[in-house]
Structure 1
Amino acid sequence: MGHSTGCQDVMEYLCRLEVSQQADGLLDGAILQAPVSDREALAQIMGKDSYDRSWKHAQKLIKAGRGEEIMSTQITQNIFEAPCTASRWYSLSSPLHDGADDFFSSDTPMENLEATFGKITPARTPLLILYSGADEFTPQTVNKKAMVERWLDVCRRHGVNVDFANSGIIEGATHNFAKCTDAVVKDFLGRVGRFLKVVGGGGGFEGGLMSKV
């Protein structure tokens, strides 16, 4: 299970690495929990001017062949509490839709989604997508339900083994479930439990229905 930025690792494994092809049938399942857009979160936290300055500075370093150089904390505002290279920062923050790690932005072009969510198919890995309805790192202007539906539609068209019945928005859930009610936590655990029950029994998901494979 990937949480927040960890969801990028899950996607990298499922749709890009050669190992994902080799792991066909060996990976029991994958869960994306709170897969927020770092780009949209950064713009919200830093403010437009500081955000624009940061990704443009990273782009400049990359073009100068200095992509592995550590970004100044004066520019990144120490957002990640750890050193960050220009390449990594740009991969998360570029608004040009060319960031390698920008999987979950609300304005992601369809061709990018086809190359990510649409490329999970070969591994046939069971997948559960859970987005927090009250995620504080998602701008209020983002229609979370519509965004997640776009991802699910791509998965559906490509026959990705997604648990459509349990994937979706967890209403009232914050990014890491801090200060959530018991009902919200129960909703989350219920979805995960139902997913794991099918996966553990060797089942799969077809059009939102549970089926044996």
Structure 2
Amino acid sequence: MKTLKILFLLTVALVAAAAVIFGMRDYKSGYEVGDIATDFSLKNVSGNQVSLSQFNDAKGFILVFMCNTCPFSIANEERILALDKKYKSVGFPVIGINPNNPVVSPGDSFEAMQQRAKEKNFTFPYLFDEGQQVYPQYGATKTPHVFILKKENDLVVKYIGAIDNSVRDSETVTEKYVENAINSLLSDEDIKTTTTKAIGCSIKE
């Protein structure tokens, strides 16, 4: 009888531990393609709060988790600017979000973001994920990490991953994942490649 009681208690403990572990895993995994994304309100480098609901004419968004300090993110800045220039006018603007903790990465402070945006003439909102509330919801793990959202009845995740297949060198790109995905959405066609591996620096927590 005593043995059965011990086994029962061990089972309960294991189930509870599994619930915690899998709960954390679900939280960390974030969105998958086809999921509905929630809106947010984050501070732009201008000082204003920005949310996706403010973009009344947008058909969707190219959401890029990026930062000031990661060499991979820096190597993609011109490509991110080019995406905004090419697709903002047809309804898919870029929204940049810095997910890094400035205590851990001082170069990613809000003031440093303002300076970087000014130096590079960012044409898109560059938002600060203060308190790191948004990036875990999305499941971003790198800078850069892209999430394409499309407005349907809700905001639906259509693509997750890298900008293209050469994060380090734009001169060697042979496949433009984000451009291909947006072009498919604009043509009401299925996206052939909906997920790719994001390559970059780990987000600083």
TM-score, with length taken from structure 2: 0.30
| Higher helix fraction (1 or 2) | 1
Q: Which has the higher contact order (CA 8 A, sep 6+)?
A: 2
Asked which structure has the greater CA Rg, the reply is 2
Structure 1 length normalisation: TM-score?
Answer: 0.29
